[in-house]
Every structure is written in structure tokens, then in C-alpha cells.
């Protein structure tokens, strides 16, 4: 837990938010400024800033984030219509919150990237 981190504060309840799902490794909230009809964030409970800080023996955390994205997409009803998973890393990606998170975007046709 980082005292000044928005996502740590959400998990601790200091910032009130509707937590849609949680397990021992990660939790899910809706993005406060959605850029798609369904815009969810899968967030590890442990404060990890970047993927390159995840140790080799900790990658079950990343696996669990992807597994959670798959099940939350099903609950959201966007599995068949399709969705995009995004992880922004550092400045050139536009990462704003320095606590690792996986965006789940869907519910409409998304713009082409890349
Ligand atoms: P990044 O650009 O770091 O990948 O994405 C951070 C995301 O967190 C943004 O889409 C932003 O809208 C979202 N966000 C920032 N503050 C809050 C908050 O207090 N609550 C929630 N639910 N989302 C937030
Ligand atoms: Zn944090």
C-alpha cells in the first residue's frame, strides 16, 4: 500500500468506489472517465507500479489479472462482441496512474490502434 496512490486508496476504502470483483490478488472497478461503454480496470491489490517490477515468481499475479479480465468481460456481456485489453507503461503510453492496471474496453466498435 502506497499512501498517496489512488488505486491503493480505492482498495482500502479511503476513496469510496464500487468494487465489482475481488480475490486474493486483484480487484475490478469501473473507470471514472470511461472511453468506451464498458471500461473496467483490473488492478493488483499489491502496489506494483510497472510490469518490469513483477518478479519471475510473481507472474501468477499477471495471469490472474488476465483471467479476471476474461470473466469480468463475460459478466459485462462483451465477450462475444469483443473487447480490448490495454496496459499502459510509462510516459510514451500515457500512463497516468503509477499502479499497474489492465484496462478492459468494449461495448462498441473501438478505434484502430497501432
Ligand atoms: P492509465 O492512463 O494510467 O493507464 O489509466 C488510468 C485510468 O485510471 C484512467 O483511465 C482514469 O480515468 C482512471 N482513474 C483515475 N482516477 C480514478 C479514480 O479515482 N477512480 C477510478 N475508478 N478510475 C480512475
Ligand atoms: Zn497503489
Looking at the chain, the whole-number percentage of residues with pLDDT higher than 70 is 99
Q: Is the pLDDT of residue 114 over 80?
A: no
Instruction: Give 109 Cα–ligand 2 centroid separation in angstroms.
Output: 31
Residue 80 sits at φ, ψ, to 5 deg, of -80, -35
pTM: 0.97
Residue with CA nearest ligand 1 atom 15: 32
CA atoms within 13 A on the CB side of 30: 12
Domain 6-106 falls in which CATH fold? HIT family, subunit A (3.30.428)
Per-residue confidence (pLDDT) for residue 77, from 0 to 100 = 98
41 touches 20 (CB < 8 A): no
Euclidean distance between CA atoms 11 and 86, whole angstroms: 21
40-77: burial string, b at 16+ Cβ within 10 Å, e else: bbbbbbebbeeeeebeeeeeebbebbeebbeebbeebe
Active site residue 101: yes
Q: pLDDT digits over 52-74, tens only?
A: 999 999 999 999 999 999 999 99
Handedness of CA 44, 77, 14, 89 (dihedral sign): positive
Amino acid at each position: 500500500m502506497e499512501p498517496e496512490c489512488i488505486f491503493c486508496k480505492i482498495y482500502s476504502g479511503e476513496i469510496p468506489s464500487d468494487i465489482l470483483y475481488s480475490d486474493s490478488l486483484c480487484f475490478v472497478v469501473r473507470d471514472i472517465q470511461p472511453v468506451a461503454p464498458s471500461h473496467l480496470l483490473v488492478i493488483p491489490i499489491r502496489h506494483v507500479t510497472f510490469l518490469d517490477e513483477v518478479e519471475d515468481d510473481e507472474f501468477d499475479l499477471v495471469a490472474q489479472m488476465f483471467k479476471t479480465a476474461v470473466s469480468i468481460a463475460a459478466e459485462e456481456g462483451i465477450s462475444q462482441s469483443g473487447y480490448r485489453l490495454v496496459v499502459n507503461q510509462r510516459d510514451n503510453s500515457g500512463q497516468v496512474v503509477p499502479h499497474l492496471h489492465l484496462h478492459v474496453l468494449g461495448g462498441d466498435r473501438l478505434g484502430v490502434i497501432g
